[in-house]
Amino acid sequence: MLDLKFVRENPEVVKQNIKNKFQDSKLPLVDRVLELDEQNRKNKLEADNLRANRNKISKQIGALMGQGKREEAEQMKKLVTEQSEKLAEAEKKEAELSEKVKEIMMTLPNIIDPSVPIGRDDSENVEVQQFGEQTKVDFEIPYHTDIMAMFDGIDKDAAGRVAGEGFYYLMGDIARLHSAVLAYARDFMIDKGFTYCIPPFMIRSNVVTGVMSFAEMDAMMYKIEGEDLYLIGTSEHSMIGKFINTMTPESRLPLTLTSYSPCFRKEKGAHGIEERGIYRIHQFEKQEMIVVCKPQDSMDWFNKMWNYSVKLFTSLDIPVRTLECCSGDLADLKVKSYDVEAWSPKQDKYFEVCSCSNLGDAQARRLGIKIKGENGEKYLAHTLNNTVVAPPRMLIAFLENNLEFDGSKYSVKIPKVLRPYMGGKDKLIQK
């Protein structure tokens, strides 16, 4: 969410940013919010004057009563009553106007970083760099769920009977591999100095609206019926929410956390080959990283975070590339974002496995995440988040890039860094 003072002083900048994000339907909202803000400030001034006048009259009543001028005091009391009624109306109007201003401000997109390429949608995202040589094999790679089935590792039919579409059972070595990847990712981030955390898997609505836009909330979140609770779509939500309405001493920054959680998503509109199998599902597990830092440090942390993902994936023999999200593909709260995409030898293309985002002070402003400087100055923090790994997508990339075939049986190579988490196994052999 933008600073209202910034919008007042830079309306044309805000409008150009909206144009850069191809959200022209929001352009009238800038003038509308400024109009409502002007009304609210005038109303607030009137309320302050009424309040001051009422207090002044109240003091005069006390003086008149002390002088025995009871009749004059009673007349003044009537005036106080009139002033109080007008003040009540002004306060009610102030609350209504403030709410209208907030509603609009929550829909205006954050100011994107000048380095972000201008583009309408994800088709105009820009490749930054490739890491690792694209896997090429001389045999046909089966579809990922077929690979899992070769190792008796998946049961979608049973999951369909139990929970419906978008769920699965992982079994045996495939389930163990899934857990091994998460455990390795956890320790990888701990070694980078991040504090490990297991957060709440449900959050209240004020946290939801603090960390994401209304459009994202509607498309992603499952609400618990009859309660002010939502299932998290990613642990970033509860991890950033951890700092709601807090004042952190600057000396404690940066706050670097890595968290494990299950994630729950509606995944509306899934279709195509990427949506078959277990690309898009309603429940999955994830290792996440978040950073809360000083504004001047956020871009440095952004670059560190996506690099962590690249190093983790390449350590598992998975080629990746980084893709910069263009202006039209950025969610409203984001300042800058990179996707890390893994190579799929099956599809002969890259697909998204991580998303690293700098949100500037947008989440901090919504949630009241403040920093106290050594000189006593108080300011809003910057927040960032990035996926470490999110099976099953990461698992798909792992299986495809580490699959081997000797002419009769398939096997999956276990990279050296993962073997301690797999009981020392260096390979999975088709049964």
pLDDT tens figures, 288-301: 999 999 999 999 99
Query: What does DSSP say about strands 403-405 and 382-389: parallel, antiparallel, or unpaired?
Result: unpaired
pLDDT at 302 over 80: yes
In 3-state terms the chain splits into helix, strand, coil percentages (rounded to 5) of 50, 20, 30
pLDDT per position as a tens digit, 74-127? 677 777 777 778 888 888 999 999 999 999 999 999 999 999 999 999 999 999
Quick check: 284 and 389 in contact, CB under 8 A?
no
pLDDT at 158 over 60: yes
Tell me, what's the pLDDT at 275? 55
Which phi and psi (to 5°) does residue 377 adopt? Answer: -65, 140
The answer to whether the Cα torsion of 293, 314, 343, 261 is positive or negative is negative
- Rounded Cα–Cα distance for residues 76 and 86 (Å): 15
pLDDT > 90: what percent of the chain?
Answer: 79
Average pLDDT over every residue of 154-166 = 92
Judged by average pLDDT, the poorest of 62-71, 209-218, 225-234, 277-286 is 62-71
For the chain, give every domain's residue range: 4-105, 122-429
- Rounded Cα–Cα distance for residues 399 and 191 (Å): 25
Query: For residue 364, which amino acid is it?
Result: A
Tell me, what's the pLDDT at 273? 42
Neighbours of 199 (CB within 10 A): 21
Which single residue is written with the structure tokens 């729950």?
264
pLDDT at 29 over 90: yes
Kindly indicate the confidence band of residue 276, based on its pLDDT and cuts at 50, 70 and 90: low
pLDDT at 239 over 60: yes
Average pLDDT over every residue of 330-341 = 96
Query: For residue 268, which amino acid is it?
Result: K
pLDDT per position as a tens digit, 316-329? 999 999 999 999 99
Secondary structure letter of residue 370 according to DSSP = E
Average pLDDT over every residue of 408-431 = 95
What is the token pair recorded at 219? 């498309």
- Looking at domain 4-105, its CATH class is mainly alpha
Tell me, what's the pLDDT at 272? 44
- Rounded Cα–Cα distance for residues 137 and 84 (Å): 81
For residues 267-306, b (16+ Cβ closer than 10 Å) or e, as one string? eeeeeeebeebbbbbbebbbbbbbbbbeeeebbebbebbb
Q: Which residue has the higher pLDDT, 18 or 165?
A: 18
Tell me, what's the pLDDT at 125? 97
Question: What is the longest distance spanned by two Cα atoms in the chain?
Answer: 110
What is the token pair recorded at 52? 């001051």
Quick check: 14 and 21 in contact, CB under 8 A?
no
Tell me, what's the pLDDT at 339? 97
Strand partners, 195: 257
Which single residue is written with the structure tokens 């046909």?
140
> What average pLDDT is seen over the chain?
92
- Rounded Cα–Cα distance for residues 381 and 252 (Å): 12
pLDDT at 270 over 60: no
Tell me, what's the pLDDT at 280? 80
Quick check: 300 and 261 in contact, CB under 8 A?
no
Tell me, what's the pLDDT at 101? 96
- Rounded Cα–Cα distance for residues 100 and 107 (Å): 11
- Rounded Cα–Cα distance for residues 336 and 385 (Å): 11
- Rounded Cα–Cα distance for residues 64 and 382 (Å): 56
pLDDT at 128 over 70: yes
The yes/no answer on whether domain 122-429 falls in CATH 3.30.930.10 is: yes
Which single residue is written with the structure tokens 């108080």?
378
Q: What is this structure's pTM?
A: 0.89
Kindly indicate the confidence band of residue 195, based on its pLDDT and cuts at 50, 70 and 90: very high
Average pLDDT over every residue of 359-369 = 97
CA torsion, points 413, 418, 422, 426, in degrees to nearest 10? 30
